[in-house]
Structure formats: structure tokens, C-alpha cells
Amino acid sequence: MKPFAQLTAVITAALLASGAQAQQNLTAETAAPSSGPGVAVLSLGEAAAKAGVANIQVTTGQTLTNSVQNVAEGKTDIASAPFILPFLMSRAVGPYAKLGKEEGAALAAKLAVLYTYRISVQGLYAYDSANFPGWDGIEGATIYNGPPRGAALTNARLLIKLNTGLEEGNGYTGVQVNWGQAVKTIQDGSADAFVLPMSFPDGRLTAALSSGNMTIWSLPLDVYNGEAFANVTKIPGTVPVELPISEMGYNEGVTVVSEDDMFRGPGTVGGEVVNVAMDEETAYNLTKAFLDNIDSVYMAKAPFVANAWFGETDIALTNMCGGNPMKYHPGAVRAWEEAGYTIPDCAK
């Protein structure tokens, strides 16, 4: 049996063993189990089984570019989606360029949101042993910047260009491998530094610390406060993130370089998406299961969940509306409003 199939079987068996009388079987795709999207979807599977809503067969380690398209095409029921992906799909650009504008727009229109969260914050880090100087060291360096395609790679290239003016292939060399090989790639010396999405604390970085201490560089204040970065944060799925270094969750082994006591960077916002054809009652029950279990299931899964904006509806944090082509599924809206939350009209 293939590893992903094994994981799916184990998750399904565990949920069935919980004693919940699930009403239906659903499929879901997400990123690595230890990532924000991975934890979110695995938690949804547990919450849905606990509530007797569904058995969700989760396949982890996926490239979310493909997963989002699978939901739009009706091949998968649920997927984690950085919100930049439906935006790119709607315009048939980037990883969706081969779709063509008409098909891309049609597919994006078939996506709806259950709930949102901050997936990660893009940042630069390197082993102290590499003597990497920070953002000034990107030129001529080899940078591991994500999987071969997807939101992480798009965001990493954008962040490097924003901060240095350099493009991959000219100013620096990019290395891309799938998330399943991320920690090995960080450790094996094939890259001088890493521009990758991070949670706080980040599972990949924490695992890689077994090979040596690391330094993380904040986005410089002048860049963070500049017009170019402000324009970047207008891209759907991208928000400015500023938090105290003391709240990043790292202890020994990690140094954070900043002009003050704050870490700054572009945050990637996304959420769980379904096809608009999902019946309203299922979307309602899934969203209700999420809302009922934020503390008991989601927060218990990983230390970074507490500051990842689960349970938020403020569009400054969710990045719904504006250029985001998606809305909440009507069933999700009903669940949120019954729980006492306000969903902005522009997101319905």
C-alpha cells in the first residue's frame, strides 16, 4: 500500500474507532500533517467524526495547487486553500495558466469557504554555521523556496523580489522539493538559506534544529512600511503580520534578527474550501463541528494553532472580500451566524 493510502486508512480507522456514528464519507486533501493546513484538516476530520457528521478520508502531503483544482472539478470534497490560489485560478495565471481564462474563471466560481485561518508567515532563515548575512546575502546564493509549484513558491519568489529586487535564475538559484523532503533538504546543505512559510513555532524548523542553531530574519522595517509591501498585501491571501518575537514560540537554538522586538512578514491566509455544489446541510454541519471544537480539538493539536487566527471573521484577518473571488458557503454562513459571529455581507 502506498504511504498516502496507508495514512488515509489509519485516519479513517481511528475516526471510526472513536465511536461516532458518521453520516457520510467525504474526502479531503491537505499539506504536510505538521503544517497549518495539515493540522486544520486533520482536526476537521476528528471534529466531524466526533459530531457524527462524516468520516473524512484525509490525504496529506499534497501540493495545494492541485488540491484546490480537484475540489473545483468535483474530484475531492474538501481542500486547504491559500487564498492566492483561487485568485490565480480565476485569472488562469501562474500555476493555472494552462487552464485558459474561461475555464479558470469557471472553476474558481465553483469554490466556497467553510472557515479561514492564517496558514503561515513567509520568512528567511539559515543555519548559523552557514554564516549567511541575511537578506543582503540572497544575491548569488542557492535558496530553498518551496515545492515545485504552488502558493509557497509563488510567495517566496515575490518576497525575495520585493526585498532584494532579484529574480530566481538571474540573481539567485532556487531549489524546489516537495514538502515531504523539506526537513531533509534543509539539513543536507543543498541550499545556503531558506525562504519558506513558517508557523510559530514551526514544525519544519524545529525538526531541522537537530542539525544546528538557526537565525530567522524579519522583514526590515523600511520594507514592511513601504509602498511596495503595501501593494503585496493587496494580493488576495496576503496580509501584513507583526508580532512580538517573544510570542514566536522558540527557545534555545533560534535567534531572530529585527530592528526591534517585533517580527514582521507577509502572512498567507487561507481556509477549508468545498465545491459550491456541496449541500447546505453538510456545509453547515462541518462548519458547526469546527466552531464547536476550536478549543477542544484544534487548539490541542499544535502549539502554533493558538496564534493562527482560527475562529476569526474580521476581513482584515480572513482576507475575504476585496480581490478574493470566493464567498462563504451558505451553510457555513448559517453556522457562523447561529454561533453568534458576524459575517460581512461582502463575504456571503
Of the candidates 94, 99, 73, the one whose C-alpha atom is nearest the C-alpha of residue 84 is: 94
Q: pLDDT digits over 170-183, tens only?
A: 999 999 998 888 99
Percent of the chain at pLDDT exceeding 90: 78
Q: Are residues 275 and 247 in the same domain?
A: no
Q: Are residues 95 and 233 in the same domain?
A: no
Stronger pLDDT, 255 or 251, i.e. the higher one: 255
- End of a domain among 267, 293, 309? 267
Cα–Cα distances in angstroms (integers) from residue 222 to residues 5, 111, 245, 314, 337, in the given order? 47, 37, 18, 27, 40
Q: Are residues 55 and 128 in the same domain?
A: no
Q: Are residues 101 and 128 in the same domain?
A: no
**Confidence bin at 35 (pLDDT 50/70/90):** confident
Q: Which helix (H) or strand (E) holds 331?
A: helix 330-338
For 307, other C-beta atoms within 10 Å of its C-beta total 15
- End of a domain among 267, 282, 309? 267
Task: Give the three-class secondary structure for 260.
Answer: coil
Note the pTM of the prediction, 2 decimals.
0.83
Q: Give the count of domains, the chain.
A: 2
Q: Are residues 280 and 142 in the same domain?
A: no
Task: Give the pLDDT confidence score for residue 150 in this predicted structure.
Answer: 74
Give me the sign of the Cα torsion angle 171, 177, 178, 180.
negative
Q: Are residues 176 and 42 in the same domain?
A: no
- In the predicted structure, residue 8 carries a pLDDT above the cut 50: no
Task: Give the pLDDT confidence score for residue 18 in this predicted structure.
Answer: 43
| Residue range 246-262: mean pLDDT, rounded | 92
CATH number at residue 114: 3.40.190.10
- End of a domain among 267, 294, 329? 267
Task: Give the pLDDT confidence score for residue 165 in this predicted structure.
Answer: 93
Stronger pLDDT, 6 or 230, i.e. the higher one: 230
DSSP string, 200-217: SS-HHHHHHGGG--EEEE
Q: Residue 175 belongs to what domain range? A: 120-267
